[in-house]
């Protein structure tokens, strides 16, 4: 005999299942709210996702939009720091850093700040040191991530200057973006360009 199912609907979300399963889901929900959060486990969202380009309270900055999974990086929300960290050199002119990507700024930043060539990478270092709302996982965005920001919310960046990406073009140059028109070219690594950290909020 087929088990009888019941359904619950709230705020446009409809869940359907057996009475036993509905009781289990209710119990799990009650325990999740009553027990303290486990260390190192990110709690479920307690507030709605803001509009793109608006501050996301508790997440360290401005909501920059949803980013689909790519390669080894799972789907996530991109959080843009609320302000620039200054105008800085990319650094390491004359060195072609191995292992840098056009899409993965977090890995790029880790490679740059963990370099063993005794050269400094000021733009990446400043992003890695940035903290906001208790988060310390910011990084210098890759070229594709800057383009994502230009597509979604260019207005949160200055329009009259270039921003460094963590993506390298050659031993002497790296990619940058102008948010006025979305152009991406490359500059010599010793130029001081604007720098804006970002972080990932995994779903």
5-40 pLDDT, tens digit each: 555 555 544 444 455 554 454 443 443 344 444 333
Determine the Cα–Cα distance for residues 81 and 58; give it in Å rounded to an integer: 12
What would the pLDDT profile of 114-133 be if each residue is shown by its tens digit?
987 667 899 999 999 999 99
Alpha helices in 15-173 (DSSP H): 19-34, 105-113, 122-129, 143-152
**pLDDT given for residue 40 in this prediction:** 39
Residue 38 is predicted with a pLDDT of: 37
Domain spans, the chain: 5-34, 55-202
Cα–Cα distance for residue pair 46/58, rounded to 1 Å? 11
- Neighbour tally for 135: CB within 10 Å: 17
Neighbours of 70 (CB within 10 A): 13
Q: Which CATH number fits domain 55-202: 3.40.1440, 3.30.200, 3.30.390, 3.10.100?
A: 3.10.100
Residue 154 burial by Cβ neighbours in a 10 Å radius (0-12, 13-18, 19+)? middle
Q: What is the pLDDT of residues 44-96, one digit of tens each?
A: 455 689 999 999 999 999 999 999 999 999 999 999 999 999 999 999 999 99
């Amino acid at each position: 005999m087929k088990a009888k199912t019941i359904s619950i609907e709230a705020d446009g979300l409809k869940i359907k299942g057996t009475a036993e399963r509905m009781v289990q889901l209710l119990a799990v929900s009650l325990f999740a709210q009553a027990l303290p959060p486990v260390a190192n486990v990110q709690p479920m969202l307690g507030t709605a996702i803001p509009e793109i380009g608006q501050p996301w309270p508790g997440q360290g900055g401005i909501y920059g939009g949803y980013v689909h999974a790519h390669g080894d990086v799972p789907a996530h929300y991109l959080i843009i720091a609320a302000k620039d960290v200054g105008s800085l050199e990319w650094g390491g002119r004359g060195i072609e850093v191995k292992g840098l990507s056009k899409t993965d700024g977090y890995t790029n930043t880790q490679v740059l700040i963990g370099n063993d060539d005794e050269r400094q990478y000021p733009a990446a270092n400043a992003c890695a040191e940035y903290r906001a709302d208790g988060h310390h996982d910011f990084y210098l965005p890759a070229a594709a991530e800057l383009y994502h920001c230009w597509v979604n919310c260019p207005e949160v960046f200055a329009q009259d200057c270039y921003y460094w990406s963590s993506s390298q073009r050659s031993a002497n140059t790296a990619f940058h973006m102008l948010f006025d028109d979305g152009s991406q070219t490359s500059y010599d690594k010793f130029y001081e360009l604007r720098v804006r950290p970002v972080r990932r909020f995994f779903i």
